[in-house]
Chain A
């Protein structure tokens, strides 16, 4: 502390952070019943992150793989957050979002593209997914790719189980995976009119 600091300390209440224009990457923190998500879009509005990882880790990954101009600008994520809320509430079964898994390796992108074809309420296995991309012996690599899924929920890695029917792993923790599977099972198309069993 010096003489200038003590004078400036009296101004502190009038100082505020900058309001920056839309830039290369905007992100927001989004709390859901499944856990806290970090969601991000690029300048074109494509979803580039939907992750359970901590804010600093996701922001650093985006800085490295998309652009260092990464800003926390929640207003640019309003549509993304609304769609996630609807999904978690069971009123939405698919996402109307452009996506870009830029931080994924080429192999992981192949896995994620195959996964995107697994419909709401259905499940598959690591082995079936490996077979679907023509690499039937790569179950473990498929599991690793899913573990690093940069777009959780939207790219439904929670729909992938072990061959014996057990849950396997999940970036958001097994309770979140269990909750997502239960959510989808409870909101299958047509079930709205089905009689309770």
Chain B
């Protein structure tokens, strides 16, 4: 209590969408909400034990990434992932969905640490220093994981792929 933690509801209000987006990007659109829900339950349980109130967003996104990986390991990595993406795609606007399906399939095919690094960096908006903490590695290694992931995505999605909006 002496560390001045804000009310947990403030974390939910400020960050629930970021957590849900990261969860969906790692676990797929269909599992995303379940993973986000589980991540919040874990965060709530651990919250009073935090030693300080700094980088709470980064802390939440790290929990989200770990929860997503745990969920995937629990169910086993299956070829069903891509099918899930298809099944969860909104019915409307089919033409707009195609590039996203390719993107998520490309992301799903990345090695686990590359996938986490690139999503924590580009979806979570974490700096390499924060990605490094989440993945228990160094900022230099985070940079390498992200650039390797982007190289793989370029191969999968075409040379023109760039994380920046075209």
Contact = CB atoms under 8 A, between A and B. Distances in A.
Contact of A3 (B5, B20, B47, B103): B103
Given A18-B40, A68-B47, A2 B8 contact: no
B86 to A, nearest CB: 14
Interface residues of B, number: 43
B44 A20 contact: yes
B5 A68 contact: yes
A68 B1 contact: yes
B12 A17 contact: yes
Contacts, number: 115
Contact of A18 (B1, B6, B12): B12
A25 B10 CA distance: 13
Given A12-B17, A15-B21, A3 B162 contact: yes
B25 A20 contact: no
B36 A18 contact: yes
Interface in B11-29: 12, 16-17, 19-21, 24-25, 29
Interface string B122-166: 110000000000000000000000000000000000000111111
B96 interface: yes
Given A4-B122, A11-B29, A18-B40, A63 B165 contact: no
Contacts of B44: 20-21, 23, 69, 71
B20 A16 contact: yes
Contact of A23 (B8, B10, B20, B24): B8
A147 B123 CA distance: 46
A21 B7 contact: no
A70 B25 contact: no
A93 interface: no
B164 A2 contact: yes
A59 interface: yes
Interface in B69-103: 88, 90, 96-97, 99-100, 103
Ordered nearest first, which 7 A-B pairs have the shortest CB separation? A70-B7, A68-B5, A18-B40, A59-B7, A15-B20, A63-B7, A7-B100
Interface of A: 1-8, 10-21, 23-25, 27, 56, 59-60, 62-65, 67-72
